[in-house]
Amino acid sequence: MGRAFEYRKAAKMKRWGNMSRVFPKLAKAITMAAKSGSSDPDTNATLRSAITTAKAQNLPKDNIEAAIKRATAKDAANLSEVNYEGKWNNGVLIFVETATDNSTRTVANIKTIFKKAGGMLVPTGSLEFHFDRKAIFEMKKPEMDIEDLEMELIDAGLEEIKIEDDETISIYADYTDFGNMSNKLHELELEYEKGSLQRVPNAPIEITDEQMEELSALLEKLEDDEDVQNVYTNLE
């Protein structure tokens, strides 16, 4: 599957193994989702998915409830979603999503990380057309036949089901169908481990193993930043 896939898998396991870093990010995602709509996960698909993802990564119930309450608290930090776009060597494009209460601090940190790694930030919007926004749901392969599952999900906006390995599948839909797909999976009583809006490169590239090792250091430093929620690249 390539070096990029191996990096993504290793990075995911690293995040899951570092709870002191991942828990605040999960809580932020829940707070942002609750602020954007209802604080009731039954009527807010984005919040329901954020909670589902948090539970899959063992965020305690008390932390989840506290994150929801922070969305409506009078003294809650005013979190904003701010995106940063950058370029690295060898045609690598990097899209960084953050949730921050201090954009001045965040942009300074992101800019420094790029600069030290030989990359640079580019004007906001420069990379938008290089990525497609997709609603992606990751789950264990259900007992239901995949073709039958496809038929069930077509009306909810299904674009593709990818079999990742013997145990895992990913369900793809356009980002506008995130709520529809989340609700349909909920209706079918199919539990997913993660549901999110992701940026998928529409013209992915490949780089060498040596280049990937260098890039991995940059990506890990970005993901280590407390304000960074997600990092996407145009790698295959």
- Asked if residue 36 is part of any domain, the answer here is yes
Residue 118's pLDDT is 95
- Asked if residue 61 is part of any domain, the answer here is yes
Q: What is the mean pLDDT of each run of 10 residues along the chain (236 residues)?
A: 53 55 89 88 90 89 93 76 96 96 96 96 95 95 94 96 92 95 93 91 93 92 93 94
Residue 9's pLDDT is 57
- Asked if residue 27 is part of any domain, the answer here is yes
- Asked if residue 170 is part of any domain, the answer here is no
Q: Residue 19 belongs to what domain range? A: 3-70
Question: Taking a C-beta distance cutoff of 8 angstroms, is the pair 188, 167 a contact?
Answer: no
Tokens of 57: 């990564």
- Asked if residue 57 is part of any domain, the answer here is yes
Q: What is the pTM of this model?
A: 0.85
Residue 74's pLDDT is 65
Cα torsion 178, 172, 164, 131: sign: negative
SS3 of residue 200 by DSSP? strand
H-assigned helices in 99-208: 103-116, 146-153, 178-187
How many domains does the chain fold into?
A: 1
Terminal Cα-to-Cα distance of the chain (whole angstroms): 9
Question: Taking a C-beta distance cutoff of 8 angstroms, is the pair 169, 192 a contact?
Answer: no
- Asked if residue 193 is part of any domain, the answer here is no
Residue 56's pLDDT is 84
The CATH code of the domain that includes 14 is: 1.10.10.200
